[in-house]
Amino acid sequence: MTTPTVGVLYSGGKDSTLAALLLDRFYDVTLVTTHFGITDAWQHAQSAAAELPGSFQAIELDRSIAETAVEIMTDDGYPRNGIQHAHDEALEALADRDFDAIADGTRRDDRAPTVSRAAAQSIEDRYNVDYIAPLSGFGRSAVDDLVSQTLEVTVGPSEDIPRADYEAELRAIIRDEWSDVAITDIFPAHDQTVVTGLK
């Protein structure tokens, strides 16, 4: 029997890494990082992926997606809806690839990005692909417990951690078009993680 394939949206952080590890027993996993061709931040995910089972791919999305996300964030004054827009587009691009299933690292208590039941069903129906959210039943505390048992991670302020999530390139656009002050006005201070290996 052929092992089904899954493309996991991968940022090199703890959530997408755990999602990939949970799926690895049942699927042929490909870690997929989407980017907008604005920076080389996607290479941080490639480095993290080298420590994990499975293969790695990078998909360059149209820069206009990032620009629209930034417009949404600057209009709102906060990042949530802009991040959601980028994630929705990334999932669509991943679903259009030749995978049996697609997945991400969204958790039960995430504010953004999220994938509603209706959105998941729409993707499955339109692309004939399964959508899986392996961490959807896990809250932050449970995820942190799993991370402490399985992953080596570096934690620090979002602006200092080398990562490949949407925020890194969206920050770059805001910095180029406005300033670092505009970044701090939009993004609240928060910590990020990058995976450096398995325990």
* SS3 category, 41: coil
Mean pLDDT: which of 48-52, 64-68, 160-164, 189-193 is highest? 64-68
Q: What are phi and psi of 10, to 5 degrees?
A: -130, 125
Alpha-carbon span 157 to 163, nearest angstrom: 11
Quick one: what percent of the chain has pLDDT higher than 90? 76
Mean pLDDT within 87-97? 97
Share of the chain above pLDDT 70, in %: 98
**Separation CA 133–CA 114 (nearest Å):** 10
Task: Quote the number of domains for the chain.
Answer: 1
Taking residues 81-88, report their average pLDDT.
96
- Per the structure, the complete domain to which residue 147 belongs is given by 5-198
pLDDT value of position 181: 62
For residue 88, CA distances in Å to 1, 91, 116, 123, 198 come to 32, 5, 11, 10, 29
Bridge partner list, 1: none
pLDDT tens per residue, range 15-25? 999 999 999 99
Residue 62: CATH number of its domain: 3.40.50.620
Q: In the prediction, which pLDDT does 153 show?
A: 92
